[in-house]
Each structure stands twice: as structure tokens, then as C-alpha cells.
């Protein structure tokens, strides 16, 4: 098959295809299928920001609330210049299925603001963040919609969002998760997605007979998720042979010096002297000779044009929607196991749930307790998914969506959906 540079499906098309297949497989009633196929609410608001130069720029902030059948809306807010409505719709829908599969009492939502943080000063970024909160405030709340970090945002932005909400509603730490610990954040949240991914990878590897001890791992995307996944996988005995960022990738078939890469990550992993590495492209990384591939950057990187080139036995999705339906079909045909994003990267929302309940109860958990609970929930989520896949003769993605859709549909029925 010839390679193509672009994916053959958008993120929204990818999520919609998984939902439609899952709904069809479980025989979901047409009325429920219609409701769950589209978001409950979409908001777009202006964010006017006075720049340091005294000029005015207007950004757009989006919030898509997909479903609250199982609890308040929950989802991150990303800061990226390419943020647009369909992308946010896709991510909000995926959050509904992720929280249901992880069995945490949340629904699904997502947000984004169309800015490039590298172009803004710290003051401009803070004013934009606070403006985004003001634009969305009427639809947010600790029992209504809770935001969290996503691509381009982190603890600092969550602190500003919490403080802006506080100015009107009073002290409400549960309005966001992923905050600094000093402001009610939980220990372990920053690392949670990457560490949860490693737990899921360990469970999946065991089921397919892959020994993680000495297994070669390639990770596309060396940000928060990818870097913490690399550390956690290394602790399990895996050898990290390739990693990448937006500038490119580095490869050493004998294993990279991960501590050194982590020290240099702030300035990028490319172009450093004194390291025994080969510079490769992000596309070449996906086809590296390895046992475990972790796409942890952006959506649509594995598609019909490059899936046949993947040599990994196991793909663990750290990014949202990195695999298109066409690539999924090729992987199934080639015997490649794919651990889907709504399972593999659920560690972040699981520990966000822990943070939320600590805030509501005004208590603080130890790191040991957080880690134990994360381990238990990730193992349980993988176990029910794997069991369903074996029972149905389905892929892990197909099984994951069937479980999640059944849980959300059951919640809607129990709430009296048929009679409203």
C-alpha cells in the first residue's frame, strides 16, 4: 500500500465510526442512538484580550458538552491555534465513552481556545485564560462541568481558571482538576495519564505473551503523557529506543539515555551534542522495529497510508484518536493489538476524579493511596474490556465502545429517558 502524508479520516469521523459500530453491535435503540450521536450543548464565546502592546486580539473559546447521563460533564481545555469545533466535538464524545469505560461518575465534555501560547507573554496568556473562563462560566460548576488540562495547558492555567471562578462564586477548588497541589490539586495527577498507560500496556502485553522486560518501545510525542509513560515503562523493564517531539525524533536501537532526554526536553530533543542517537522523522518513528508503539502526540497519525509499515506487536494509544478506521482494519488483519485511547489514556481522568472527590470532601490522599487506586481501576477497566473482546470475538476498541455505550444508555434509561 502506498503511503499518504495525511490521515484518511478526521478525528470526528474516527470517533463517530467507533460509536456507530458499537451502537450497531449492541442493538442500541434508534432514539438513544440519535441522542448519543450528537452533543447535548455547544458553546462558542469571544475572548477579547488586551495585549502588552495595548492592541486588542479576540480569540475563540469552545466548550462542547456531550453527555451528562452518568455525572457532571468532564473534560480538558486545550490551548492550540488549530482548535476548531469538530475537533472539540470528537474529543467531547470520546470523553463520554472514556469516563463510562473507566467507571467514574462523569459525563463527557471538551474545550479549547484558539491561541498559540508561544506567541503570548505570561500576562497575555493569563488574561486569555481568565477571559475563557468568563465566556464559559454560566455552563460550568463543580457538579455541572469540570475542566482539566489538555494539550497546551497545565497546572498554571488551571490555577487561573479556578481563581477567576472564585471571584464570582467563592472558593470552589472542585471547578477544575489538574491544579497545583498547593491549591487543592492531588499528588500524582501530572503523571497519571502516562503511568496509567504503562499499567494498561503491562496488562495487554501479558495477554498477548509479550514480555515487557527488554521490549523495545517507540514513543511519538515526548510531552507530559509520552515522557511519563516512558519513565513508567522503563521501570517495568522496557527499553525506550525512539522518542519524538514536534521538531523530529531520535533513535538508538540499543536504548536511549532517558534521564538525559528528560533533562533536555524543555529545549527539544533534537540537535543536542553528546548523545548517541540517530535523528529520524516522526513518520519513520512509527515504522521503527519495536515491540511496543505509543502514539502520544496528535490524532490521525496512523492511517491507511502507513499502517502496513508498522512493525510493533502492540500499539498503546496515548493520544486521542491517533488511529483511523482504515488503519484499525489493517492492524486487525496484520495481527497487531491496539489498546484504544479511551482505555489506554484514561489514567488522567481517573486521577482527576480522585482530585475532585478530595476537593468536595476537603481531604487529602497520600501518593501511595492515589497510585493504588489508579492501579486497581486501570486493571479493572482493562480486564472487563479484554473479557468482552474475547467473548464477542472483537477487537479491544470494539469491546471498549460496546461496554461504554451500554453503560451510558443504561443510565439514560434509568433516568427515565423514554418518558420525557
> Hey, which residues are catalytic here?
110
Rounded Cα distance, 388 and 96, in Å = 19
* 311 phi-psi bin (left φ>0, alpha ψ -120 to 50, beta other): alpha
- Bridge partners, 145 (sequence order): 73, 141
| CB proximity list for 116: less than 8 A, separation 6 or greater | 80, 81
Helices (H), 137-264: 155-169, 189-208, 224-235, 258-264
Please answer whether residues 387 and 219 qualify as being in contact, where contact means their C-beta atoms are separated by less than 8 angstroms: no
Return the DSSP state at 323: B
Burial code (b: 16+ CB inside 10 Å, e: under 16) for 21-57 equals: bbbeeeebeeebbebbeebbeebebebebeeeeeeee
Burial code (b: 16+ CB inside 10 Å, e: under 16) for 296-331 equals: bbbbbbbbbbbbbebbbbbbbbbbbbbbbbbbbebb
Amino acid at each position: 500500500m502506498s503511503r499518504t502524508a495525511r490521515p484518511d479520516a478526521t478525528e470526528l469521523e474516527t470517533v463517530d465510526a467507533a460509536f456507530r459500530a458499537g451502537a450497531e453491535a449492541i442493538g442500541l435503540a434508534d432514539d438513544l442512538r440519535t441522542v448519543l450521536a450528537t452533543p447535548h450543548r455547544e458553546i462558542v464565546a469571544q475572548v477579547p484580550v488586551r495585549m502588552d502592546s495595548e492592541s486588542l486580539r479576540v480569540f475563540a473559546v469552545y466548550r462542547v458538552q456531550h453527555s451528562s447521563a452518568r455525572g457532571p460533564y468532564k473534560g480538558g481545555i486545550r490551548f492550540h491555534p488549530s482548535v476548531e469545533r469538530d475537533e472539540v466535538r470528537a474529543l467531547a464524545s470520546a470523553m463520554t465513552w472514556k469516563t463510562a469505560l473507566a467507571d467514574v461518575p462523569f459525563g463527557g465534555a471538551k474545550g479549547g481556545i484558539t491561541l498559540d501560547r508561544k506567541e503570548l507573554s505570561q500576562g497575555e496568556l493569563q488574561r486569555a485564560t481568565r477571559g475563557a473562563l468568563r465566556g464559559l462560566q454560566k455552563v460550568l460548576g463543580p457538579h455541572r462541568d469540570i475542566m482539566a488540562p489538555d494539550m497546551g495547558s497545565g497546572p498554571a492555567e488551571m490555577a487561573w481558571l479556578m481563581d477567576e471562578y472564585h471571584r464570582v462564586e467563592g472558593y470552589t477548588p472542585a471547578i477544575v482538576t489538574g491544579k497545583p497541589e498547593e491549591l487543592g490539586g492531588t499528588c500524582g495527577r501530572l503523571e497519571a495519564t502516562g503511568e496509567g498507560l504503562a499499567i494498561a500496556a503491562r496488562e495487554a502485553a501479558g495477554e498477548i505473551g509479550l514480555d515487557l522486560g527488554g521490549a523495545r518501545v517507540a514513543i511519538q510525542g515526548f510531552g507530559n503523557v509520552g515522557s511519563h509513560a516512558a519513565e513508567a515503562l522503563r521501570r517495568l523493564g522496557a527499553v525506550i529506543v525512539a522518542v519524538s517531539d514536534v521538531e523530529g525524533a531520535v533513535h538508538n536501537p540499543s536504548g536511549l539515555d532517558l534521564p538525559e532526554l528528560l533533562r533536555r526536553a524543555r529545549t527539544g530533543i533534537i540537535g543536542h551534542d553528546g548523545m548517541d542517537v540517530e535523528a529520524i522523522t516522526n513518520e519513520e518513528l512509527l515504522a521503527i522495529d519495536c515491540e511496543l508503539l505509543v502514539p502520544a502526540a496528535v490524532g490521525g497519525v496512523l492511517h491507511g497510508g502507513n499502517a502496513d509499515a508498522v512493525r510493533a506487536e502492540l500499539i498503546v494509544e496515548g493520544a486521542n484518536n491517533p488511529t483511523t478506521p482504515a488503519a484499525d482494519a489493517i492492524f486487525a488483519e496484520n495481527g497487531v493489538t491496539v489498546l484504544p485511547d479511551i482505555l489506554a489514556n484514561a489514567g488522567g481522568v481517573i486521577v482527576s476524579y480522585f482530585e475532585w472527590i478530595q476537593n468536595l470532601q476537603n481531604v487529602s490522599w497520600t501518593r501511595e493511596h492515589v497510585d493504588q487506586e489508579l492501579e486497581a481501576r486501570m486493571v479493572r477497566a482493562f480486564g472487563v474490556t479484554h473479557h468482552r473482546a474475547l467473548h464477542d470475538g472483537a477487537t479491544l476498541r470494539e469491546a471498549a465502545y460496546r461496554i461504554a455505550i451500554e453503560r451510558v444508555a443504561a443510565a439514560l434509561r434509568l433516568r427515565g429517558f423514554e418518558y420525557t
